[in-house]
Amino acid sequence: MSKTKQFEILKNSKYESTILEWRNDEITRKNSINQEIVTKDDHKKWLSNQLSKNETILIMHFYNSLPAGLIKLDYLQNNNYGISINLNPKFRGMKLSSQFIKESLHFLIENEKKESLNVLASIKPHNIPSIKTFTNCGFTLKDANYQNGLQLFSINLIKTNNVLLLGYPKNENPLIDFLTSKKINVQNTHKKLDIKSLAEYDLVISYGYRHILSEKQLSYCKQDPLNLHISLLPWNRGAHPNFWAFYDKTPHGVSIHKIDRGVDTGEILIQKEVFFDGDITLKDSYFKLRLEIEKLFISNYKNLIYKTMKPFRVDIEGSFHLSSQLPDNIDWNKSIAENQN
């Protein structure tokens, strides 16, 4: 995707005619609350009114330098915002709506003074594409029988200034420097935690952490913690997932998921299958998986820390292993085939 400018906060009416053209598109009108054709004069008054409101943000998004979609954010009350999108009809089917919504949500939470806020989307029940778009951005159904026959979807955003990164120390964990470069305060430890200390952090991330967070510890977290696990979940939950993928001939991969009461059983936010040559050593494959999951986190970090992606589960049983199940005398500098000879 080639882009020179992601988006622009509208301060004037320079895109007035463009927005009106999109608004009067037949498919757009069919899915709008008001399905009538909007006149030029009425649109001019509407846009002027929106631009004058302190509680309204209009964000024009671009694709290949062309205006591609307008996101409208309205402050309602009690830290609630309404959101709507008007997409350039020329770009339908290109999955740009999700990208524009996510970028707007990230802009909102990062620039508003509020530490936590809710964003609400009112959608017609038959508008399946919009429902899929918003749920893919992390929205969930809040009210199936909202006013005027609409369904109400919502997402909660938490400003992420302070992160607790459990597990690998700084010299083994590039994510610490990465998050710090994004002006996020990062604390790092591999030790067991005092329960109440978890409440001090906006987000808890586990990566190479050797302890299980208890249900009571989880209850003190502001939001669901994240875990970076070097397996293609639900395969090889638990200890030494890389070894067991080779040993059991199950898929290799990396997964970033929410932490729940189980061991590596939380909803998955993103994962990637990884392939190896047959003669790679266990040690080299381990470090390759580490590199893959770090790249996956870095390239998706805003969607991960703000949860602007749809969590999912894979409908297979998968597998689970304890540390005590690891065979004796494993040589990590050899391949699995060499270890089995």
Rounded average pLDDT over 215-230: 96
Angle at 115 between CA 213 and CA 170, to 5 degrees: 45
Q: Is the pLDDT of residue 3 over 60?
A: no
Indicate the pTM of the whole model: 0.94
CATH number of 162-340: 3.40.50.12230
The whole-number pLDDT of residue 2 equals 44
Amino acid at 222: K
Average pLDDT over residues 106-130: 95
Residue 281: pLDDT band by 50, 70, 90 thresholds? very high
Position 280 scores a pLDDT of 95
The confidence score (pLDDT) of residue 195 equals 77
CATH 3.40.630.30 range(s) for the chain read 7-158
The stretch 39-65 carries a mean pLDDT of 96
pLDDT given for residue 258 in this prediction: 98
Correct CATH for 7-158 of 3.30.470.20, 3.40.50.720, 3.30.930.10, 3.40.630.30: 3.40.630.30
CA dist 258 and 83 (Å) reads 26
Helix (H, G, I), strand (E, B) or coil at 200: helix
> What is residue 196's predicted lDDT score, i.e. its pLDDT?
79
pLDDT at residue 159 greater than cutoff 50: yes
Residue 33: φ, ψ to 5°: -65, -45
Task: For the chain, give the mean pLDDT.
Answer: 95
Question: Residues spanned by CATH 3.40.50.12230 within the chain?
Answer: 162-340
| Per-residue confidence band for 4, with pLDDT thresholds at 50, 70 and 90 | low
